[in-house]
Amino acid sequence: MASLRTTRRDSRLLRYLILGTWALVCLVPVAWFLSIGLRPRVEIITPRPIYWPTFSLDAWHMIWEDWPMARYLRNSVAAIFGSVLIDLVLAIPAAYSLARYQYRGRDDIAFYILSTRMMAPAIVAIPIFFLFRSLGLLDTVWALMIVYAAINLSLVTWIIRSYMLDIPKELEDAARTDGASDLRILWEVIVPAIRPGIITASVIAMIFAINEFLFTLLIASTPNAYTMSVALANFTGGSDGVIYNAIALVAFLAFLPVFLVVLLIQRHLSRGLTMGAVKG
């Protein structure tokens, strides 16, 4: 009995040790970023080691006052939320169709949708640039919204579809005999029942959109459409050289909202990720 108790305690200790190490590995860069962001610029590039960092809001003031960071933030938020909204509006009916109706080529269509995700983005970069130029949408938040939505649409559709496949068919049969139309079944029965899936898909889409860089750089050429991720690039050139503390702070600010959202909904998210992975 005694030995059993020891081994159990040992294994618990081991578990904490492993998870603690893992957490440290994940968190150190974040903490480092934050510490860089909150120090004066000279201190960051000095070759001598510093034991007591100096706290400074230089970078903070700089990004808000010298740079239109509020605007970049607004662009990011608008493009990201807009794109997720577009994704949901398109993906929910598409996923429903793929999950429920029988028609020729259904599985091929489903696979095609997913396969767009496997393509290297650079391949379509140039056509997309010309497309938006002809549409007169270059350097607008609208273009970013559309591009983010397009990038994420396949994944969002796929995740939502996998959740829909898990809903017993009897539920829809019941709604049908109760007199509901297909649209009402979708809206009043299916969508509420897969809310965790919708949240999961939205968050994953948001994370991809926040981190998107290539297309944003391509489309945004002035602060008119700059987002947080592209704004980072602004701090590397110009007469001031690389402004590390501003970069670090902006990166941290871009990271924070995602981190908080994931923390809030992590229960849904982990279930959603494994479901999306196993099913389909």
Partner 1 sequence: MARIELRNVEKRWGAVWGVRGVNLDIAEEEFVVFLGPSGCGKTTTMRMIAGLEEPSSGEILMDGENMNGVDARDRDVAMVFQGYALYPNMTVYENIRFPLRMRKVPRSQHDALVRRAAEMVQLTELLDRKPGALSGGQRQRAALARAIVRQPKVFLMDEPLSNLDAKLRQHMRVQIRHIQRDLRITTVYVTHDQIEAMTLADRIVVMRSAEIQQIGTPDEIYNDPANTFVAGFIGAPPMNLVEGGIEGGVFRAPGLEVPLPGRGDLGRVILGFRPEDCAVSMDGGELRGCVYGVEPTGDVTYLTLKAGERLIEIKADRQFRAPLDSPVQVALDPARLYLFDGETGRRIR
Q: What are the residues binding partner 1 (CB under 8 A)?
A: 168, 170-171, 173-181, 184, 188-189, 192-193, 195
Distance between start and end Cα atoms, the chain: 46
Our CB check for partner 1 shows the closer of 150 and 180 to be 180
Q: Determine the Cα–Cα distance for residues 209 and 142; give it in Å rounded to an integer.
A: 14
The letter for the amino acid at 249 is L
Our CB check for partner 1 shows the closer of 112 and 187 to be 187
DSSP code of 262? H
Our CB check for partner 1 shows the closer of 47 and 168 to be 168
Q: Judge whether 149 and 86 are in contact, CB under 8 Å.
A: yes
Our CB check for partner 1 shows the closer of 78 and 165 to be 165
Q: Determine the Cα–Cα distance for residues 114 and 32; give it in Å rounded to an integer.
A: 37
Q: Judge whether 159 and 200 are in contact, CB under 8 Å.
A: yes
Our CB check for partner 1 shows the closer of 174 and 256 to be 174
Query: Minimal distance in Å, beta carbon 42 to partner 1?
Result: 57
Query: Minimal distance in Å, beta carbon 197 to partner 1?
Result: 13
The letter for the amino acid at 216 is T
Token pair belonging to 233: 């690039």
Query: Minimal distance in Å, beta carbon 173 to partner 1?
Result: 5
The tokens 């196993």 sit on which residue?
A: 278
Query: Minimal distance in Å, beta carbon 208 to partner 1?
Result: 28
Our CB check for partner 1 shows the closer of 128 and 189 to be 189
CA distances from 233 to 18, 140, 162, 199, 229 (A): 36, 18, 38, 31, 8
Q: Determine the Cα–Cα distance for residues 3 and 26; give it in Å rounded to an integer.
A: 35
Query: Minimal distance in Å, beta carbon 107 to partner 1?
Result: 19
Token pair belonging to 180: 């509901």
Our CB check for partner 1 shows the closer of 190 and 209 to be 190
Give me the half-sphere count of Cα atoms (radius 13 Å) on the Cβ side of residue 25: 6
Query: Minimal distance in Å, beta carbon 177 to partner 1?
Result: 5
Token pair belonging to 239: 């007469």
- 223 three-state secondary structure: coil
DSSP code of 54? P
Query: Minimal distance in Å, beta carbon 92 to partner 1?
Result: 15
